[in-house]
Structure 1
Amino acid sequence: MPFTFKQFHIDDDKCGMRVSTDAVVLGAWAPLQQDLLAGTPSDKQSIKRILDIGSGSGILSLMAAQRTHESVAITAVEIDAAAAAQSKHNVANSPWPNKVSVLNAAIGSEHGLGKFDHILCNPPYFDNGPQTQELRRANARHTNSLSFNELLQHVQTLLAEKGLASLVLPSESLDAFTMAMANTQLQLAQRVNVSTVSHKAPSRVLLCLRHESCAEEQRKSGELAAHATELLQQHMHIQDKNGLYSQQMQQICRDFYLKL
Structure 2
Amino acid sequence: MSFQCRQFYLKDDRCAMKVSTDSLLLGSWVAVEPTTSCILDVGTGCGILALMMAQRTAEQAQIEAIELDAEAVQQAQENIVASPWPAKVQCTQADCFAWQPQQPVDLIVCNPPYFTAHLASQQEQRRLARQGTQPLTAWLARMTTWLSPQGRIAWILPLSMETRLEAPSELSLRRRCEVATVVGKPAKLVLLEWTNETVECRHESLSIRTADGDYANEFRQLTSAFYLAGEHQTS
Q: TM-score, normalised by structure 1?
A: 0.85
Aligned length: 230
Report the Cα distance in structure 2 between the residues aligned to 1:141 and 1:210, rounded to whole angstroms.
Answer: 26
Q: Secondary structure at the match of 1:111?
A: coil
Q: In the alignment, is residue 93 of structure 1 matched against residue 65 of structure 2? A: no
Matches of 1:152 and 1:96 in 2, distance apart? 28
1:252 aligned onto 2:233: no
- The residue aligned with 1:84 is 73
In 1, distance between residues paired with 2:175 and 2:106? 17
Q: How many angstroms apart in 1 are the aligned matches of 2:148 and 2:179?
A: 28
Counterparts of 2:63 and 2:135, CA distance in 1:
23
C-alpha change, 1:30 and 1:112, in structure 2 (3 Å) is: closer
Q: Deviations over 1:71-104 (max 9, x none)?
A: 1000000011110110000000000000000010
| 2:158 is the alignment partner of 1:170 | yes
TM-aligned CA deviation for residue 127 of structure 1:
2.2
Deviations 1:182-234 (A, max 9, x none): x44212111100001002110100000112xx22xxxxxxxxxxxxx531111
Q: 2: distance between equivalents of 1:60 and 1:256?
A: 11
1:142-174 C-alpha deviation (Å, 9 max, x unpaired): 1x4232122112211111110111110011111
In structure 2, the residue matched to 1:119 is: 108
- Equivalent pairs: percent with the same residue? 35
In structure 1, what residue type is equivalent to 2:51? L
The aligned counterpart of 2:50 is 61
- Distance, in Å, in 2 between the alignment partners of 1:10 and 1:146 is 28
Alignment partner, residue 209 of structure 2:
239
Q: For the residues of structure 2 that align with 1:8 and 1:192, how far apart are their CA atoms?
A: 27
**Cα separation, 2, equivalents of 1:149 and 1:127:** 12
In structure 2, give the amino acid aligned to 1:233: H
1:259 offset after TM fit, Å?
A: 2.1
- 2:159 partner letter: S
Counterpart mapping for 1:160-239 below 5 A? 160-177=148-165, 180-181=166-167, 183-211=168-196, 214-215=197-198, 230-239=200-209
3-state DSSP class of the match of 2:179? Answer: strand
CA RMSD after TM alignment: 1.4
Given that 1:109 and 1:157 are in contact with CA atoms closer than 8 Å, whether structure 2 keeps it comes out as no
- Verify the 8 A CA contact 1:126 1:173 in the aligned structure 2: no
Paired residues of 2:38 and 2:106 also in contact (CA < 8 A):
yes
Q: Write the distance in 1 (CA, Å) between the matches of 2:101 and 2:56.
A: 26
2:161 aligned partner, one-letter code: S
Which residue type is aligned with residue 18 of structure 1?
Answer: K
Is 1:9 the counterpart of 2:9 in the alignment? yes
Q: Which runs of 5+ in 1 are unaligned?
A: 34-44, 216-228
